[in-house]
């Protein structure tokens, strides 16, 4: 549809006015001039550009600036940088031009954003992961760079409909893989939730729409419940003279799906689909007192669950989050989470870093984010591990829940849940971690692998004679500790490799072979190694011995052609079909790509897809196409890091083939439960039991059943039937 230039210009002017109206800070005249100048420059720079949707390109930077101003609350410098974030990459403007027009701060932020944009164009997997590492490095240059990049990603996700389907999945997977966890870590909870839901919309669209419709259908019931809860407590709160408001907050579609998947329950059985939030006005001095006063009032009316109390006011999260969370038995005997926050706490929870610094005073403790950034910088700069492994390890620490432990001097240390005594040692100082000999928790010696719990007192015992060993990597959870241990092991490996190189040169000389690049290349192929460091290291350790070197000598001295043929035979062994493949090859029910081609493939053992499952193909290096379920635990990593090797796949016919699915059952051990379960399965058409095992302890049973089914529909019907068996509580598919 054609839109006139006049209408487009009116829309651009309207968007700009909205930007000024919603600006979080009270703008000074200088701020207004800066933003106006940045707006004019962006409009001029992008004057001939359009987005995939057809709208003028400048709408995108204005939208990003609105997110930066309204949802995050950054300053005028950040708003200007958001307006200009694409001009250096996409137009004739240079960084020098921006520095002259807007100053060093704006230019530096735009430079950081430009670097990230250039990085994201790489397709190679290890480069993609390395780019994530470089992206994280920009955090310490100026955290506003990554915050604006998150705003940029949010607007791109909001307008992703205009992109091709394969790009939608790639961008959505990348968003779930790194940008949502980063938003969580920086404290941008609202943006993190929106990024997760938007990503889920494109990675699992059918599941997304199903849950969304169920939430909409239950909205009236939810609003009624919040009203009935509020009516019970509002009189008591008002009687105490408190100035407050009560809000209901729905759990996100993404988090509801996570709960449904992990617990294998339907939507109706997710009981904490929403939380109630009490936001009160208070001076900084009275905040804590009033929070506990509200807690007391709530628990006078509703029975609390003591195991679900979360006090993040006394010990805020390391990203600055403060609140008191309690779970109480509400009306109609339903568990309800109640979040108690002051207005200041609520703003920090919603706007993260920017709001924290707005409220920060000289006598306050610094935000934990600052110390986390320092640790992050150290890990990034000293990291030597495989980039993909690094991003995986780092991502785990972004979402990790926190525990709080004490040093012998009474200082509090925040660590991710699951962190061990060895993680604690590295969190104090790298040198202490490297020299750790043992640990005492609450005065008792414990293994270094012992997971710590909140409130424990930890003392580290060191020794000058200790150095990290490979099994230490099994004892740690944090990216910092893993990075330091791997760095130490690599240094040791290099030292051994240097000795190994000299040993190899000497031994090859005795075999009349000169150690040079050609020889090393032949040896890497012969011993199936990746690089010369691995080769020299193995020689230094003695795992490549004299006999193996003599065997290599024979190969090396034979003709190159024979050597090549021999190596190719070793690398490409004769492929023998197993019985299962001989049976199923004529009934292939999967097709791939836009042309719906039949390709040789295998089913990934990590998720064991069956007909009816939503799937995709992954082109491996040595094993052809592997088929994974779209909700496979490895899907996100593959789609984000290796998007160029993903191929569309779908089932077209499953009438003649049968597949194995493994079900885990648990419940109350009634008399005859095994018989009832097997009867339920045998009564089911087209389902055969391949393997069955049950065990019972203290009145609770656990069962494992392997069944042969034709497709996902039959399997889902079977699971529903099993859940109807008296005593069966849960049925999970492995």
Measure the CA–CA gap between 50 and 162, rounded to whole angstroms. Answer: 12
Domain check: are 31 and 48 in the same one? yes
**10 Å Cβ neighbour count for 235?**
8
Last residue of a domain, one of 103, 137, 162: 162
**Is residue 494 in some structural domain?**
no
Q: Which helix (H) or strand (E) holds 192?
A: helix 189-203
> Which residue, 175, 103, 115, is CA-closest to 141?
115
**Is residue 542 in some structural domain?**
no
Residue found under tokens 């597949």: 659
The structure tokens listed for 183 are: 């938003």
Measure the CA–CA gap between 94 and 288, rounded to whole angstroms. Answer: 50
Domain check: are 615 and 690 in the same one? no
* Helices (H), ranges, 25-103: 29-45, 59-66, 76-83, 87-90, 95-102
> Which residue, 86, 22, 36, is CA-closest to 59?
86
> Which residue, 459, 344, 367, is CA-closest to 406?
459
Provide the whole-model pTM.
Answer: 0.65
CATH code at position 667: 3.30.70.260
Last residue of a domain, one of 651, 686, 711: 651
Angle between helices 205-217 and 253-263 (to 10 degrees): 110
Query: 239: buried, middle or exposed (CB in 10 Å: 19+, 13-18, 0-12)?
Result: exposed
Angstrom CA distances, 474 to 308, 449, 456, 469, 534, stand at: 30, 8, 22, 10, 22
Domain check: are 641 and 670 in the same one? no
Q: Which helix (H) or strand (E) holds 636?
A: helix 635-641
> Which residue, 552, 513, 555, is CA-closest to 535?
552
> Which residue, 301, 290, 313, is CA-closest to 240?
290
Predicted local confidence at residue 417, as pLDDT: 81
CATH code at position 139: 1.10.3210.10
Domain check: are 475 and 617 in the same one? no
Domain check: are 611 and 589 in the same one? yes
Domain count, the chain: 5
Low-confidence ranges of the chain (pLDDT < 70): 1-4, 23-26, 117-141, 353-400, 557-589, 595-596, 652-658, 684-686
**Is residue 303 in some structural domain?**
yes
Strand order from edge to edge, sheet including 436-441: 444-446, 436-441, 458-462
Domain check: are 594 and 446 in the same one? no
Catalytic site includes residue 89: yes
Domain check: are 29 and 157 in the same one? yes
For 86: left if phi > 0, alpha if psi spans -120 to 50, otherwise beta; the answer is alpha
The structure tokens listed for 139 are: 């955090």
Domain check: are 303 and 405 in the same one? no
**Is residue 669 in some structural domain?**
yes
Q: What angle do CA 86, 88, 90 make, to 5 degrees?
A: 60
Measure the CA–CA gap between 486 and 390, rounded to whole angstroms. Answer: 11
Choosing from 11, 90, 392, 555, which is the catalytic residue? 90
**Is residue 568 in some structural domain?**
no
Domain that holds residue 600: 579-651
Domain check: are 17 and 129 in the same one? yes
Predicted local confidence at residue 37, as pLDDT: 93
**Is residue 60 in some structural domain?**
yes
The structure tokens listed for 485 are: 């241990």
How far the first Cα of the chain sits from its last, in Å, is 49
**Is residue 203 in some structural domain?**
no
**10 Å Cβ neighbour count for 509?**
11
Predicted local confidence at residue 358, as pLDDT: 64
**Is residue 617 in some structural domain?**
yes
pLDDT, tens only, 466-505: 888 878 888 888 878 888 888 888 888 888 888 889 999 8
Choosing from 8, 11, 89, 588, which is the catalytic residue? 89
Last residue of a domain, one of 651, 670, 698: 651
> Which residue, 435, 433, 429, is CA-closest to 421?
433
CATH code at position 252: 3.30.460.10
Domain check: are 16 and 122 in the same one? yes
Predicted local confidence at residue 561, as pLDDT: 45
Domain check: are 50 and 105 in the same one? yes
CATH code at position 425: 3.10.20.30
Measure the CA–CA gap between 151 and 148, rounded to whole angstroms. Answer: 5
Domain check: are 618 and 682 in the same one? no
Q: Which helix (H) or strand (E) holds 603?
A: strand 601-603
Residue found under tokens 């979402």: 399
**10 Å Cβ neighbour count for 17?**
9
Measure the CA–CA gap between 246 and 61, rounded to whole angstroms. Answer: 35
């Amino acid at each position: 549809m054609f839109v006139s230039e006049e209408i487009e210009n009116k829309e651009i002017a309207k968007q700009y006015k909205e930007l000024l109206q919603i600006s979080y800070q009270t703008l000074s005249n200088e701020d207004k001039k800066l933003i106006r100048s940045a707006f004019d420059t962006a409009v001029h720079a992008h004057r001939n550009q359009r987005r995939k949707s057809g709208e003028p390109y400048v709408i995108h930077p204005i939208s990003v600036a609105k997110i930066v101003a309204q949802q995050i609350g950054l300053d005028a410098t950040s708003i200007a940088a958001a307006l200009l974030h694409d001009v250096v990459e996409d137009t004739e403007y240079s960084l020098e031009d921006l520095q002259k027009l807007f100053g060093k701060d704006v230019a530096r932020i735009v430079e950081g954003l430009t670097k990230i944009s250039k990085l994201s164009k790489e397709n190679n997997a290890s480069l993609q992961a390395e780019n994530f590492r470089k992206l994280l490095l920009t955090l310490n240059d100026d955290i506003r760079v990554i915050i604006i990049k998150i705003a940029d990603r949010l607007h791109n996700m909001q307008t992703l409909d205009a992109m091709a389907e394969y790009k939608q999945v790639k961008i959505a997977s990348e968003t779930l893989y790194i940008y949502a966890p980063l938003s969580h870590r920086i404290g941008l909870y609202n943006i993190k939730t929106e990024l997760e839901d938007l990503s889920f919309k494109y990675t699992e669209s059918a599941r997304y729409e199903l849950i969304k419709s169920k939430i909409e259908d239950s909205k009236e019931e939810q609003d009624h419940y919040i009203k009935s809860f509020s009516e019970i407590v509002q009189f008591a709160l008002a009687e105490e003279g408190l100035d407050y408001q009560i809000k209901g907050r729905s759990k996100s579609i993404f988090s509801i799906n996570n709960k449904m998947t992990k617990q294998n329950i339907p939507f109706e059985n997710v009981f904490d689909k929403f939380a109630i939030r009490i936001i009160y006005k208070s001076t900084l001095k009275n905040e804590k007192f009033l929070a506990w006063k509200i807690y007391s009032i709530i628990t006078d009316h509703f029975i609390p669950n003591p195991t679900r109390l979360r006090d993040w006011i006394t010990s805020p999260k390391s990203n600055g989050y403060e609140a008191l969370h309690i779970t109480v038995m509400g009306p109609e005997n339903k568990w309800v989470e109640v979040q108690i926050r002051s207005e200041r706490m609520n703003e920090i929870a919603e706007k993260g870093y920017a709001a924290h610094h707005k409220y920060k005073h000289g006598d306050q403790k610094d935000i934990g984010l600052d110390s986390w950034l320092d640790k992050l910088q150290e890990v990034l700069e000293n990291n030597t591990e495989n980039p993909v492994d690094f991003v995986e390890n780092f991502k785990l620490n972004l979402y990790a829940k926190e525990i709080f432990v004490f040093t012998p001097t009474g200082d509090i240390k925040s660590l991710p849940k699951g962190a061990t005594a060895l993680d604690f040692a590295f969190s104090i100082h790298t040198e202490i971690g490297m020299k750790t000999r043992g640990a005492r928790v609450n005065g008792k010696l414990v293994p270094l692998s012992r997971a710590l719990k909140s409130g424990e007192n930890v003392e580290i015992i060191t020794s000058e004679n200790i150095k990290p060993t490979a099994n230490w990597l099994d004892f740690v959870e944090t990216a910092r500790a893993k990075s330091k241990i791997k760095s130490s092991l690599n240094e040791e490996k290099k030292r051994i490799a240097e000795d190994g190189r000299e040993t190899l040169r000497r031994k090859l000389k005795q075999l009349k072979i000169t150690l040079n690049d050609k020889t090393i290349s032949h040896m890497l192929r012969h011993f199936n190694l990746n690089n010369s460091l691995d080769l020299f290291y193995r020689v230094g350790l003695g795992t490549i011995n004299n006999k193996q070197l003599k065997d290599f000598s024979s190969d090396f001295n034979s003709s190159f052609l024979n050597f090549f043929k021999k190596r190719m035979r070793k690398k490409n062994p004769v492929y023998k079909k197993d019985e299962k493949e001989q049976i199923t090859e004529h009934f292939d029910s999967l097709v791939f790509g836009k042309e719906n081609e039949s390709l040789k493939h295998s089913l990934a053992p990590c998720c064991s897809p069956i007909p009816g499952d939503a799937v995709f193909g992954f082109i491996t290096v040595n094993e052809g196409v592997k088929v994974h379920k779209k909700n496979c635990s490895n899907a996100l990593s593959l789609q984000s890091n290796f998007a160029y090797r993903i191929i569309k796949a779908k089932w077209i016919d499953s009438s003649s083939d049968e597949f194995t699915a493994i079900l885990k059952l648990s419940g109350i051990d009634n008399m005859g439960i095994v018989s009832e379960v097997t009867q339920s399965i045998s009564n089911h058409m087209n389902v055969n039991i391949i393997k069955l095992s049950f065990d019972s302890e203290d009145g609770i049973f656990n069962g494992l059943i392997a069944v042969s089914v034709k497709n996902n529909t039959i399997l889902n019907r079977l699971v529903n039937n099993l859940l109807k068996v008296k005593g069966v509580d849960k049925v999970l598919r492995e």
